[in-house]
Structure 1
Amino acid sequence: MQAETVHPGEDRLAHAPTDHPPVARARIGILVANLGTPDNHDYWSMRRYLNEFLSDKRVIDFPAWKWQPLLQLVILSKRPFTSGANYRKIWNHDRGESPLMTITRAQVEKLRRAVAARYGTGIMVDFCMRYGNPSTEGAVRRMVAAGCEKIVFLPLYPQYAGATSATANDQFFRALMRERRQPAVRVVPEYFDHPLYIEALAQSVERAYAGVDHRPDVLVASYHGMPKRYLMEGDPYHCQCQKTSRLLRERLGWPAGSIDTTFQSVFGREEWLRPYTVEHVAELARAGKKRIAVISPAFSADCIETLEEIQGEIREAFEHAGGEEFTYIPCLNDDDAHIAALMAVLRANLAGWAD
């Protein structure tokens, strides 16, 4: 019997009957995951986004009976306004999206070209957000429908943390639970000490220092914060941040004490990892360190925490305390050295699947 017409990218199984549904040609998928972004900066968009984010037990692990009334009745009645105002300051109005979305898309476009150059066209590269859109579930569905029988999942977090890497993995596995035909999967582990990642960070520092008239007195490496309790319960994030800073300092050839490791974005009354960036930069200014530079090694792309918090609140704290020159070193974003580092990580995780 003659086979029916098959849509592009789909094949009939060699010995299947004519009424067998089309089967997509087997492929490998690379799914890149970032934190997330609201769809817009208005109240309801911000409320939906913050509700999803702050309801995540990996982020806020208080009992639901205790946390949800506070979240729904107090926090989400006020915070969407303030967070929306902050997003409005940095919003990419030309494209109608947050900078994180713009940058992540640019990263994935470069990765897609690099993957095609290295492996050909048999690998599909896409991205998703843990919170908001494009959703992890939607991205997994697209990949499975396109014939991806193997998926490499890449959370864009150099250092592992339960509130970032683990929750991205959780959402990925939840999406897989909805698939009748589950692909084989590999989850890319943290890459905080990968030589090419450290090299990309070092190059970004060298470029920034070459562009200022006066060398900063101190380089502050500001990482996203987390409750200190998480460290005591076994989360490796704090230790990995410290090692990233040390390896960066060694690559730059700087003496001990020339890079300070700090933590930002403190939330609530619980003690978080210290020192807090906003307090530390003020202390540096009062101690006579009038010129500082700040880098954010935990963020793969510039976002609200870097574009608004560091360049707003943290800069203001430094200048209010007497600081004179504040240099922000952008995240690695879609810099070629960053893409090269991510490709090296992906090649290791594609071994045996695509050689």
Structure 2
Amino acid sequence: MSAKIGILLANLGTPDEPTPSAVYRYLTQFLTDPRVIDLPRWKWIPLLKTMILPKRAKRVAKNYQSIWTAEGSPLLQITKQQQRALQTYFDNENLNMVVEIAMTYGNPSMESAVKKLIDSDVEKIIVLPLYPQYSSTTTASVFDAFAHALKTTRKILPFEFIHSYHTHPNYISALAQSIKARFKSDEFLQFSYHGIPERYEHLGDYYREHCKQTTLAVVDYLGLTENQWGMSFQSRFGKETWLQPYTDETLAQYPQQGILKLAVICPGFAADCLETLEEIAEENRDIFLQAGGQSYHYIPALNAEDAHIQMMAELIKTKLSLPKQTA
């Protein structure tokens, strides 16, 4: 393959530092995206800046401080590991690829990543949003950010946009193998996905269906029975109804139902981040144990595992009509 192809790995984003000011900047960008919060701007923006951000930035900064590493944000650190691993994979295959990363919010920005690829003289760009299940709040936001980045140049290259991969065989296999390596036969397996307002579903967002399809595919692969697993949604925000059942409320009820040993996985996350490392691994663990649970552990995201990197490569190669390799 002589043509140089640019690969763009896109994820949500992270603040530059675990400080209230940095978190304030990050959350401002995130929560003013109409894909995320679709309330009328005249109503939402004043409320956000005067009531929500001043308090939320301080609280979220403390949460980030609890997971921050010497290398910085876990999300950014892991995404860089994925970038390096995928670049090595393509180099070993003698494929003329350049892999860059971009965050929808924060740094490295979508604009900077697109500029790097164009400056590298790539002839085509393939965008891979690191969201297995489509949602207008995530995948569509990546598309918006990518399209906006192209507004700054007259040199719009041919591009491919990978929409979703919620039932891709290599993704399901990687998830299932990761679970098998960490899941005990006497545990209950909880699939927890990031929530979205229920209203968005009524407006056409089919995210819940993608989550169901992922869950059922993994359950079928593992051969689990109905009384060995559950599915729920985490991280609701505001007063309106979000997709249910809610993870925190569900976990609080489990001990009363005789479920005392729990393993939780978040298949919607390609890289561990604040939400998985703090909310799921810590906050929800406390909720479950305080309600009478005996044991609880979080099964990490696929991160930079070999099977995950190969799955990304296979997704990308389908856009090139190149020979596929089996897992």
The TM-score by the shorter chain falls in which range?
Answer: over 0.9
Structure 2 distance, partners of 1:257, 1:106, is 37
> Can you list the C-alpha shifts for 1:260-309, whole angstroms capped at 9, x where unaligned?
11000010000000000000011111212110110000000100010000
Structure 1 distance, partners of 2:266, 2:110, is 25
Q: How does 1:146-295 map to 2 (within 5 A)?
A: 146-209=120-183, 215-216=186-187, 218-295=188-265
Q: How does 1:1-355 map to 2 (within 5 A)?
A: 27-92=4-69, 94-95=70-71, 97-120=72-95, 122-209=96-183, 215-216=186-187, 218-351=188-321
- Asked if 2 retains the 8 angstrom alpha-carbon contact of 1:86 and 1:308, the reply is yes
- With structure 2 as the length reference, what TM-score do the two structures score? 0.96
Paired residue type of 1:169: F
Structure 1 distance, partners of 2:229, 2:212, is 10
- Asked if 2 retains the 8 angstrom alpha-carbon contact of 1:249 and 1:258, the reply is no
Structure 2 distance, partners of 1:44, 1:104, is 23
- Asked if 2 retains the 8 angstrom alpha-carbon contact of 1:152 and 1:350, the reply is no
Structure 1 distance, partners of 2:84, 2:242, is 36
Residue 259 (structure 1) shift: 2.0
Paired residue type of 1:70: L
> Can you list the C-alpha shifts for 1:105-146, whole angstroms capped at 9, x where unaligned?
0011110011112243x2111111110000000000111111
Residue 198 (structure 1) shift: 0.3
> Can you list the C-alpha shifts for 1:136-160, whole angstroms capped at 9, x where unaligned?
0000011111111210000000000
Structure 2 distance, partners of 1:305, 1:102, is 15
Paired residue type of 1:46: V
> Can you list the C-alpha shifts for 1:177-222, whole angstroms capped at 9, x where unaligned?
111211111001200000110000001111102xx5x731x10000
- With structure 1 as the length reference, what TM-score do the two structures score? 0.88
Structure 2 distance, partners of 1:199, 1:36, is 27
Percent identical across equivalent pairs? 43
Structure 2 distance, partners of 1:257, 1:147, is 54
User: RMSD across aligned C-alpha pairs, in angstroms?
Assistant: 1.6
Structure 2 distance, partners of 1:325, 1:195, is 31
Residue 350 (structure 1) shift: 2.2
Paired residue type of 2:186: R
- Asked if 1 retains the 8 angstrom alpha-carbon contact of 2:281 and 2:297, the reply is no
- Asked if 2 retains the 8 angstrom alpha-carbon contact of 1:29 and 1:143, the reply is yes
- Asked if 2 retains the 8 angstrom alpha-carbon contact of 1:224 and 1:263, the reply is yes
SS of equivalent residue, structure 2 residue 138: helix
Unmatched segments (≥5 aa) in structure 1: 1-24
Paired residue type of 2:202: M
**Bigger shift: 300-309 or 228-237?**
228-237
Structure 2 distance, partners of 1:329, 1:243, is 19
Unmatched segments (≥5 aa) in structure 2: none
Paired residue type of 2:233: F
SS of equivalent residue, structure 2 residue 205: coil
1:13 aligns with none
Residue 26 (structure 1) shift: 6.0
Q: Which has the larger radius of gyration?
A: 1
- Asked if 2 retains the 8 angstrom alpha-carbon contact of 1:151 and 1:186, the reply is yes
Residue 257 (structure 1) shift: 4.1
Structure 1 distance, partners of 2:76, 2:227, is 35
Structure 2 distance, partners of 1:62, 1:204, is 39
Structure 1 distance, partners of 2:3, 2:265, is 42
SS of equivalent residue, structure 1 residue 267: coil
Total equivalences in the alignment: 323
SS of equivalent residue, structure 1 residue 174: helix
SS of equivalent residue, structure 1 residue 127: strand
Residue 256 (structure 1) shift: 2.9
